[in-house]
Amino acid sequence: MKIDWIIKTVRDIKDEAVRKNEIKILIKEVVQEELGNVKQELENFKKIIQGAAYGSREGLQRSYSEAIKEKKKENVIIVKTKLQQENEDTKKVIKEKVDIKNTAM
């Protein structure tokens, strides 16, 4: 009798835990779906706002990645830095540009 009661109690606890887990999963799915809907609505509002702000332009403002997807080809700009000047060169340039004798103090 006691063994049957213990087995039944363990099964009930196990079933209850499974139900709680299923409820958690269901709630998680519903929340994820709602967050997806909210995210989509925000994207729509963003596009509407961009369309109103840039109304005179052709269509909506596109991102760089969207433009590249359509173009299928990417332009690359290579920028070379200037040679770094030495300290003495910088001092000479400053002395030439700034007349210390005529500077008011």
Tokens of 12: 């009930």
User: Tell me: the pLDDT tens digits for 82-102?
Assistant: 666 567 777 777 777 777 676
User: Tell me: the pLDDT tens digits for 10-65?
Assistant: 888 888 888 888 888 889 999 999 999 999 999 999 888 887 766 545 555 667 77
Domain boundaries, the chain: 1-96
Is 56 in a helix, a strand, or coil?
Answer: coil
pTM, two decimals, is 0.39
| Closest CA relative to residue 62, chosen from 78, 86, 46, 76 | 46
At residue 50, the pLDDT reads 81
- N-terminal to C-terminal alpha carbon distance within the chain: 105
